[in-house]
Structure 1
Amino acid sequence: MTTTVAVIGLGIMGGPMAANLIKAGHRVVGYNRSPEPVRRLQDAGGHGAGSVAEAVRVADVVITMLPDSPDVEAVALGQDGTGADGIYANARPGTLHIDASTIRPDVARRLAEAGRERGVRVLDAPVSGGEPGAVEGTLSIMVGGDAADVEAARPVLEAVGRTIVHVGPHGSGQTVKAANQLIVAGNIALVAEAVVFLEAHGVNTAAAVEVLAGGLAGSTVLDRKGHTMLARDFTPGFRVELHDKDLGILTAAAREAGVVIPLGALVAQLMASLKARGDGGLDHSALLTLVEQLSGRSAGPPS
């Protein structure tokens, strides 16, 4: 049976995810604040909607892929003061709302309760893998919510991801995603430091990255970001400003739990500094330029 999926947010991640849902045979209805991503979806065989309400009224499953907690709350609960234009006021009872955004765990829990009151089943299902994973349909998806709802959502999630794991109750997916962002940011910072270190010693850096990737130092971050760092190609796959937001979620959640994350706190400050410098729109691998600057090996941020 064909599932109708409404995708709200057709950006760097949401657009490719919607395209993969179409390839998997689902009927996809998309909404985005700017029109060009909707046109791309239609060109790929999807259907456009003029509003959130229009998109979700016909949907069996709603996927949101939005920048931050306030964006998801506004779309789910409505922006007009009455809630009438939101997902939960317009979705049919039993609809699954899969929030693939990265937001605060407490907001994910609050949305789950609000959805339950309106008969909507809510899952927090943030993803990891960046734009390449979204395009290739190989995302890692960490899902929080009721087990039965996770199984109901699995055929849709399998169209966009390769690793799909139920990690616990509502909010757990966002907690695991915060840990993911900690590890990724730390890896990026260390790869950046390694590149600056190698270049300072005049080493063949391309060869060095190749051999490092084959040993214990190897990682997905090194594979995907090492050579783009060497090329100083900071075309955004995941923007600095978004990683800065995610690390803010992490540090707040760690403080709430009484957990000390000294390395995480440091890399969060470095990412915040990069954003404050005006580089929030670059790929997060642009952390390399900050390490260069701190080492006195660069005239400043990229032009």
Structure 2
Amino acid sequence: MGKERVGFIGVGLMGHGMAANIVGKGFPLTVMGHRNREPVEDLKRRGASEAATPRELAEACDIVVLCVTGSPQVEAVVNGPDGLAAAGKPLMIIDCSTSEPSATTRLATELEGKGITLIDAPLGRTPKDAWEGTLDVMVGGTSDQIERARPVLETFAGRVIETGPVGTGHTMKLLNNFLSMGYAALYAEALTLGAKAGLTPTVFDSVVRGGRMDCGFYQTFFKWVLERDPNAHRFAIRNGFKDMSYLSAFANAAGVANPMGAAVRNSFAVAVTTGHGDDYVPMLSDITANLAGTSLVPEADD
């Protein structure tokens, strides 16, 4: 039996590398046109085909991977006038977006009645890992559904972690992002307080790095703080704010007080409302410092 035909919608920062791995590892691939033509043309050179609409893509595929911004975009791609569901055929949809869990479970139930399977498979790590095929994937679905999806997921993932029924992948992703966005807000405030007291980021790092508070996210964050590497963590602040808003809705629905989440969300809200939504998450450190009337930029770079 040949490999299943795969469609991919959302060939942006993460999706481009993921799709390149899918086609590079032998799966027939169709991608949907993207506002940025460069990744689409690159994937076509690698052997992919292009579809003009989600419906056209669905008609050519057995499995469709989504890597879009969130639940509203997923809903539009699936149920829009020319959406995936309009193809009227059995299909597996793998949602790798960071979506709202309640929206995911509702949509999965709705699609099941149409013979369409939806599982959630959000991502951990960075665009660099997408290209290297070493992403973490948190998958919610039945065992049979996950086993069908696994060969596709393993083209771009180093770890495929089963989290439980559909919706639990997106729940775990929100919790994971709560931790990482929480660290970002903490680092930004701690660095700002240090700068106000005359402690440079270099001194701060010399204490933390290699100690108990060091971690992979810290090191990625500080590639921007110390080295001014704009590609250290290419995840937009507005997406962090979106994820923290999803977390807030989830906590409210669960009846759980979430004061830490609210504080982190507020840090990101300030950055977005002051015009920095398109900046990457490590740049929250400079935004926070500047609002406090100080700077984290090394003197040599002034």
Fold shared, TM-score > 0.5 on shorter chain? yes
Give the root-mean-square deviation of aligned CA atoms: 2.2
Number of aligned residue pairs: give it.
294
Matches within 5 A, 1:225-244: 225-234=221-230, 237-244=234-241
Secondary structure of the equivalent of 1:2? coil
Is contact 2:201–2:225 with CA below 8 Å preserved after alignment?
no
- TM-score normalized with structure 2 length: 0.90
CA-to-aligned-CA distance 1:61-119 (integer Å, 9 cap, x gap):
100111121110011112x3xxxx211221632x2110001111111012211221121
Q: Judging changes above 3 Å, is the alpha-carbon distance between structure 1 residues 232 and 242 closer, same or farther for their aligned structure 2 residues?
A: same
Matched with 2:12 is 11
Q: Judging changes above 3 Å, is the alpha-carbon distance between structure 1 residues 248 and 179 closer, same or farther for their aligned structure 2 residues?
A: same
Matched with 2:140 is 144
- Paired with 1:122 and 1:43, the residues of 2 have a C-alpha distance of 29
Deviates more, 1:259-268 or 1:274-283: 259-268
- TM-score normalized with structure 1 length: 0.89
Matched, 1:276 2:278: no
Unaligned runs of 5+ in 2: 297-302
- Paired with 1:211 and 1:160, the residues of 2 have a C-alpha distance of 35
Secondary structure of the equivalent of 1:216? coil
Matched with 1:53 is 55
Secondary structure of the equivalent of 1:152? helix
CA-to-aligned-CA distance 1:259-302 (integer Å, 9 cap, x gap):
12222110100101100111111101121023203432049xxx
One-letter amino acid matched to 1:26: F
Is contact 1:195–1:230 with CA below 8 Å preserved after alignment?
no
Q: CA deviation at 1:210?
A: 6.0
Q: CA deviation at 1:51?
A: 1.6
- Paired with 1:204 and 1:35, the residues of 2 have a C-alpha distance of 39
CA-to-aligned-CA distance 1:221-262 (integer Å, 9 cap, x gap):
112111212244445711011111110000111011111222
1:292 is aligned, of 280, 289, 293, to 289
CA-to-aligned-CA distance 1:3-48 (integer Å, 9 cap, x gap):
3210011111111110111222211110134250311211233221
Matches within 5 A, 1:148-163: 148-163=144-159
Q: CA deviation at 1:206?
A: 4.4
Matched with 2:189 is 193
One-letter amino acid matched to 2:40: V
Matches within 5 A, 1:19-58: 19-34=20-35, 36=37, 37-58=39-60
Secondary structure of the equivalent of 1:278? helix
One-letter amino acid matched to 1:242: N
- Paired with 1:296 and 1:223, the residues of 2 have a C-alpha distance of 25
Matched with 2:131 is 135
Is contact 1:7–1:31 with CA below 8 Å preserved after alignment?
yes
One-letter amino acid matched to 1:222: Y
Is contact 2:79–2:85 with CA below 8 Å preserved after alignment?
yes
2:69 is aligned, of 67, 70, 74, to 67
- Paired with 1:221 and 1:295, the residues of 2 have a C-alpha distance of 24
Secondary structure of the equivalent of 1:30? strand
Matches within 5 A, 1:163-242: 163-200=159-196, 205-206=201-202, 209=205, 212-234=208-230, 237-242=234-239
- Paired with 1:51 and 1:255, the residues of 2 have a C-alpha distance of 36
Unaligned runs of 5+ in 1: none
One-letter amino acid matched to 1:11: G
One-letter amino acid matched to 1:61: I
Secondary structure of the equivalent of 1:7? strand
Secondary structure of the equivalent of 2:148? helix
